[in-house]
Amino acid sequence: MDSVIEVQRQTHEEIEHLERALYTTLSKPQPAHQFRLQNEHKASQLLDRIHSRVVTLSNLYEDQETRKAEIEALSAPARQDDLSAFYARLGKIQEHHTKYPDATVGGFELELATFLDEGEELEDEEFEQDDPVALLFSGEEGYGKYLDLYTNHTTYNNLKHIGKRLAYLQYLDVLLAAQSESVHTELPKECRLHRDYELYIRALHAYLVSFTKRSQPLVDVETQQREAEEQFDKSWEAAVPEEWHDSRQATAPTTENGEGGIWCAACQKIYSKQTVYDAHLTSKKHTKAAQKQATSDAPPTNPNGPPSSNGAGITLNGESAKSSPDKSKHRTAALLTHLCSQLLRALAPALNETKSNVERRFSLTAREREQELLEQAKKPPPAAKAPAPGENGEEEEEEERIYNPLKLPLGWDGKPIPYWLYKLHGLGVEYRCEICSDHVYMGRKNFDRHFQESRHAFGMRALGLPNTKHFHEITRIEDALALAEKLKREGRHEIFEQETMEELEDEEGNVYNRKTYEDLKKQGLI
């Protein structure tokens, strides 16, 4: 359509449809994190389309000349029987439909409806479709629930002048400390002023911005970063913070007595003592350099920072003339540190979830981790659809309702197990374990099995005790500590010294423990 007014009307209509679609998308209840994040990304795409339509519409309204010409063309002609403009427009419309005979009326509504219902249509497909939102995150990020900071942690530990290296959990605690102060205040000043720190904080800032955009698509990160940068510029122009002031730049020599070194403009060299400087004035090298300097322009200044001996490099306040560039030397690192602190405050819940997830994974065995990965890889079951009218929906619901007044556990067929089997296995008996944070286990079999599970092993590790057979059937913390002390007094160190539990065999087939085997081998008896 060539009509500007028709394009404006159509753009208004599209904006209205997109706003309704946005309301429909945001009003859907999404209890699961995965579906909620997909919904937010879909809403973000709708907002981008609305923004592009609004910009186009604003440009059309600003073009007053084209709009005025269109209105004049639509107005009544001088002669009432002049229909030339009408037939000209009718010819364009017929030409358009002749050129595009298969054009669908209301194509935008169909496209928008397909965009909103694309997730529901893919449920009946036989092949598995890749989730575009899942491809945005790595496996460690867990669909946007956790942060993957292992690379930044490695770079942090490789910084120069860092001092003590931190474990991953301690590194997360350092980032969580940004809630009350600037990030990485624990680093020494010489480390923060180094070039490696600037590269590290730049990479950390880039990752935090990327993760925020992917995990919180409805948050305007760029606007927040611009506001934080403006706030930083005001504070930086007012006064450079003490932690970003390089004291090494202020120790340049500023006097003529040679306390910090004397600069010779002719030789382009610094002399540490006045006597050495005076002695070199009579040398041939200095004489030639002085003659060459006399025929040339003004002598060059010291490139390393100290002023010349005549005091030309000293400003009124006693500072070096090079102090103004030094003010902006560490500005980039300070700005990125300030921006990272703002991002970490916004990502505090995700950081806490990351720390909890790391602590939980440390307590899992290799088999439990593999099982967890398999469960995460499974596609979540689709939501149950309501039965269509006319079907026996109520009868099927009555059949699926199970009568279970005794709250018996369900068997393999989804029905309660017999009561005699329930009593036979003792599933009605409660076993409480204080080491497992007072967790209750139903039945003797589940109670015996839990001593080798991760929950009990984590509780024993928290008490500083090994989870060996000696502590089987021990459920109270007081009893476990008492038993450990008793084993120490009796001299049974095998639970604490694993090397005595190792058995070795000689060439004749005799079996010894490791200590006895090494003693006999030293004596030459084996």
DSSP for 232-244, written as a single string: HHHHHHH---GGG
Contact of 425 with 441, CB cutoff 8 Å: no
DSSP for 319-347, written as a single string: -BTTHHHHHTTTHHHHHHHHHHHHHHHHT
Residues 6+ positions from 51 with CB-CB distance below 8 Å = none
Element (H, E) at 25: helix 4-26
DSSP letter (8 states) at residue 262: E
Q: Please state, in angstroms and rounded to a whole number, the distance separating the CA atoms of residues 174 and 166.
A: 9
Residues 6+ positions from 382 with CB-CB distance below 8 Å = 123
Q: Quick one: tokens of 193?
A: 């002023």
Contact of 266 with 286, CB cutoff 8 Å: yes
Q: Quick one: tokens of 146?
A: 């956790």
Q: Quick one: tokens of 79?
A: 């002669």
Cβ neighbours, 10 Å, residue 451: 20
Question: Is the sign of the CA dihedral 174, 159, 168, 339 positive or negative?
Answer: positive
Q: Please state, in angstroms and rounded to a whole number, the distance separating the CA atoms of residues 213 and 222.
A: 9
pLDDT for the residue numbered 400: 61
What's the average pLDDT block by block, 10 residues per block, for the chain (526 residues)? 78 88 84 84 89 90 82 68 78 85 70 69 52 84 89 92 88 90 87 90 94 91 92 86 66 43 79 81 85 68 46 36 54 91 92 89 79 69 48 52 76 82 83 90 88 89 87 90 86 55 82 86 85
Question: Minimal CA–CA distance to 25: which of 53, 1, 47?
Answer: 47
Question: Minimal CA–CA distance to 261: which of 315, 302, 292?
Answer: 302
Can you tell me whether residue 513 is helix, strand or coil?
A: strand
pTM of the model: 0.55
Angle value at C-alpha 255, between 250 and 257, nearest 5 degrees: 130
Q: Please state, in angstroms and rounded to a whole number, the distance separating the CA atoms of residues 216 and 208.
A: 11
| Per-residue pLDDT tens digits for 46-103 | 899 899 999 998 998 888 888 787 777 777 666 666 777 778 888 888 888 888 887 7
What are all long-range contacts of 271-279, with beta carbons under 8 Å and residues at least 24 apart? none
Residues 6+ positions from 453 with CB-CB distance below 8 Å = none
Can you tell me whether residue 481 is helix, strand or coil?
A: helix
